[in-house]
Chain A
Amino acid sequence: MADMNTWQQFWYYMSENGAYVLSQFTRHFLISIYGVLIAAVVGIPIGLFIARNRKLSSTIIGIANVIQTIPSLAMLSIIMLGLGLGVNTVIVTVFLYSLLPIIKNTYTGMASVDPNVIDSAKGMGMTSFQRLYMVEIPLSLSVIMAGIRNALVVAIGITAIGAFVGAGGLGDIIVRGTNATNGGAIILAGALPTALMAIIADLVLGAVQRRLEPKKARS
């Protein structure tokens, strides 16, 4: 082992522990996804609601902003006090961090729909609900998607810290590497897949977001 350089050690680690890395990769991904999905389920309706009730928007977005300013390690520790060690604490943390980009983007997306389109939709006799699902949501979907994309990339980073509260995931490998002497290769085995996951998530959701954009002229 000692005569190999860091990269050789890295590939050696990966070939010996590939299955373990993959299982942690999956676990890491699922923790992030669950947190973001729950945030989307909660955050999108909140965003739609404050878009219709503009007076509440500054309060709600203000609260989400405050949550965002808490350092992630501190947040994990605080939530750990309530939920104890384990995966749930991380999912809740991811959820809280994802709320702001999702609520904010939903609100922005709704607010940026051309008021003339809303006016003519109303004037043509669409009910409030029809306006929402036939006009406003389709037109703001790409902006909402951008919020989810943003949230997911952040979530992957937060989940890596989740190893400190015993949630597992790729952070676990990184922590293992920092504890070992000459653990550089092990750190890489945890960090590179994390980075790769974030990049792929960003690219895939970026493509989805572009597909959801309202149709433009194709000349």
Chain B
Amino acid sequence: MATAQPIVQYLDVNKVYRGGNVAVEHINLTIERGDFVCLIGTSGSGKTTTMRMINRMLEPTGGQILFNGEDIHKKDPVKLRRQIGYVIQNIGLMPHMTLYENITLVPKLLKWPEAKRRAKAESLIKMVELPVDYLDRYPAELSGGQQQRIGVIRALAADQDLILMDEPFGALDPITRESLQELVKSLQEKLGKTVVFVTHDMDEALKLATKIVVMDGGHIIQNATPAELLQHPANQFVRDLIGEERLIQARADVTTVGAIMLKNPAVITPGKSLPEAIALMRKRRVDTLLVVDDNGYLKGFIDVESLTHQYQKSTAVADIMQTKLFYVQETALLRDSVDRILKRGLKYVPVVDADNKLRGIVTRASLVDMVYDTIWGGDNDNGESGNPAPVDQEPAEGGGVNE
């Protein structure tokens, strides 16, 4: 169990400010090693308070916080803080120290020898793609984005396992912010650090986090992975925080083909005769039939053109069946499949399961339904087979999804 011990654990933590202002209440949260946890919420939700209690910048008024299994209340706050990286929104570099002195401040406090500090500073500054001779410069000579890069590596300089970040990129312009987000994410993954990241920006949280903790009014509302959060927002507050737009976008991101396919495509078995095939086409008002064997495995298709050309020579469906056929897995993401359908100019795509058994079909018409839902927000009632014609031409071409 020792290795699987969570790096931080909140056990029923409360924080009440003097004057009775309740900042957070009954916080129970476990942060696993290597996680990138985003605390997100509106102002006053207690997210910063929650974070700042980890390195005892704020003291909880009730409950316990464990760091590596030890109660932080029993540890010397100065020693504790030297083990935890700390990055704040306003950067907070020491203006009277060079970048080298800034980066190696905590190692210096920990009395590392000079050579080790120099080597560490040089390797870190290379990691954020700044020239090594910048080490002798002062913070005021750098742009805001460069300063925050230094702020980030300063938090890594003493090999801290846990990094706390309090809206570190809030004050930066969008382009700089994005490049720093990528930097932090890649550093975190490469070095295996645990990050607790406070933000109010849902895009940022969705992009960076492995776990998102949504807070409101001092309580944790939901603690989930980004995908879970998008698929199952706990309540209206979370939905609002994510925003309808993202939820809809996310639907394409997480919806599988299986969720929107039509489940009763027009099918025929290879042994059937051609007149039977034509009769079926007429009945279903389609120009193509999928061919499946008796066990439901997808074999190919026949369309009305080959039927008319070969009507005289052939007798069975198997003779004119075309086996070159594009299909998708039921579990494939809709987002990817839509792309293919549109690019290849396909009118329909059969959907199969892992064993290549036919499960359903996605037509241009069902895509139109998707688009309609997205724009007008209708209920997602695909799969109910109100539409009898899986390969129906008219609605598909009228839908305007061509090219």
Chain A positions within 8 Å of B, measured between CB atoms, are: 114, 116-117, 119-127, 130, 135, 138-139, 214-219
Set of chain B residues within 8 Å of A135, measured between Cβ atoms: 94, 96
**Taking CB as reference atom, which chain A residue is nearest B79?**
A125
CA distance A26 to B293 in the complex (A): 116
Please provide the chain B residues from 57 to 91 with a CB less than 8 Å away from any CB of chain A in the complex. 57, 78-83, 86, 88, 90-91
The interface residues of chain A lying within 8 Å CB-to-CB of B80 are: 125
Q: Which of A116, A123, A126 interacts with B91 by CB under 8 Å?
A: A116
Q: In this complex, what residue of B is CB-closest to A126? A: B109
Task: Quote the shortest CB–CB distance from B144 to chain A (angstroms).
Answer: 13
- The reply to whether the CB of B138 lies closer than 8 angstroms to some CB of chain A is yes
A120-B151, A125-B81 are known contacts; what are 19 more A-B pairs with Cβ within 8 Å? A114-B92, A114-B95, A116-B91, A116-B92, A117-B95, A119-B92, A120-B86, A120-B88, A121-B94, A123-B164, A124-B109, A124-B154, A125-B82, A125-B109, A127-B78, A135-B94, A135-B96, A215-B138, A217-B141
Q: Which residues of B contact A127 (CB under 8 A)?
A: 78
Closest to B95 in A: A214
Q: Given A116-B90, A216-B140, A217-B140, are A123 and B81 neighbors across the interface (CB < 8 Å)?
A: yes
- A sample of 23 cross-chain residue pairs with beta-carbon separation below 8 angstroms, ordered by A number, consists of A114-B90, A114-B92, A117-B93, A117-B94, A119-B57, A120-B88, A120-B91, A121-B92, A122-B57, A123-B164, A124-B82, A124-B86, A124-B105, A125-B78, A125-B79, A125-B83, A130-B109, A135-B94, A138-B96, A215-B138, A217-B138, A217-B141, A219-B141
Quick check: A124 and B57 within 8 Å, CB to CB? no
Which residues on A sit within 8 Å (CB–CB) of B341?
Answer: none
Q: Which residues of A contact B82 (CB under 8 A)?
A: 124-125
| Nearest chain A CB to B78 CB, angstrom units | 5
Q: Which residues of the other chain, A, contact B154 by a CB distance below 8 angstroms?
A: 124
Pair A122/B138 contact, Cβ less than 8 Å:
no
Q: Is B55 an interface residue (CB 8 A)?
A: yes
Residues of A within 8 A of B78 (CB): 125-127
A124 to B105, CA, bound (A): 8
Instruction: List the B side residues contacting A130 at CB < 8 Å.
Output: 109
- Smallest CB–CB gap between B280 and chain A, Å? 73
Residues of chain A within 8 A of B86, CB atoms compared: 120, 123-124
Chain B residues lying within 8 Å of A116, measured Cβ to Cβ, are 88, 90-92
| A119→B88 contact, CB < 8 A | yes
CA distance A139 to B94 in the complex (A): 9
B95 A123 Cβ-Cβ under 8 A: no
* A127–B106 CA distance with the chains assembled, in angstroms: 12
Interface mask (B286-320 → A, CB under 8 Å = 1, otherwise 0): 00000000000000000000000000000000000
Please give the distance in Å from A136's CB to the nearest CB on chain B: 11
> Which single member of B83, B96, B164 contacts A214 (CB below 8 Å)?
B96
Whether A123 touches B94, Cβ cut-off 8 Å, given contacts A130-B109, A216-B140, A217-B138, is no
For A123, the closest partner residue in chain B by CB is B86
Query: Cβ of A125 and Cβ of B106 under 8 Å apart?
Result: yes
Cβ-defined contact, B95 with A215, below 8 A? yes
- Residues on A with C-beta less than 8 A from B79 are 125
State the CA gap A125–B79 with chains docked (Å): 6
Which chain A residues border B57 with CB–CB below 8 Å? Answer: 119, 122-123
A216 contacts across to B, CB distance below 8 A: 138, 140
Could you tell me the distance in whole angstroms from the C-beta of B153 to the nearest C-beta in chain A? 13
Closest 9 CB pairs of A and B: A120-B92, A125-B81, A125-B82, A123-B86, A116-B90, A116-B92, A214-B96, A217-B140, A217-B141
CA distance in complex: A218, B81 (Å) = 33
Expressed in whole angstroms, the Cα–Cα distance for A216 and B138 within the complex equals 7
User: Which chain A residue has the least Cβ–Cβ distance from B90?
Assistant: A116
B135-154 residues with Cβ-Cβ distance < 8 A to A are 138, 140-141, 151, 154
Q: Are B90 and A139 within 8 A (Cβ)? A: no
Q: How far is A217 from B140 in the complex, measured between Cα atoms in Å? A: 5
Instruction: Provide the bound-state CA to CA distance between A139 and B139, in Å.
Output: 14
Q: How far is the CA of A120 from the CA of B141 in the complex (A)?
A: 20
Neighbouring B residues of A126 by C-beta, 8 Å: 78, 105, 109
Q: How far is the CA of A51 from the CA of B78 in the complex (A)?
A: 21
How many angstroms from the CA of A214 to the CA of B95 in the assembled complex? 7
- Shortest beta-carbon distance from A141 to chain B in Å: 9
Whose C-beta in chain A lies nearest to the C-beta of B77?
A125
Task: Collect the chain A residues with CB atoms within 8 Å of residue B105's CB.
Answer: 124, 126
CB of B85, distance to nearest CB on chain A (Å): 8
Chain B residue numbers with a CB within 8 Å of A138 are 96
In the docked arrangement, what's the CA distance between A121 and B86, Å?
9
A154 to B79, CA, bound (A): 47
Q: How far is the CA of A119 from the CA of B255 in the complex (A)?
A: 45
Q: Shortest beta-carbon distance, A158 to chain B, in Å?
A: 34
CA distance in complex: A123, B141 (Å):
24
Whole-angstrom CA separation of A62 from B105 in the bound complex: 38
| Whole-angstrom CA separation of A114 from B93 in the bound complex | 10
Say whether B91 contacts A218, CB under 8 Å: no
- Judging by beta carbons under 8 Å apart, are A123 and B96 in contact? no
Q: Which residues of A contact B141 (CB under 8 A)?
A: 217-219
Bound state CA distance, A9 and B138, in angstroms? 56
**Nearest Cβ in chain A — how far from B388, in angstroms?**
66
Q: Which residues of B contact A120 (CB under 8 A)?
A: 86, 88, 91-93, 151
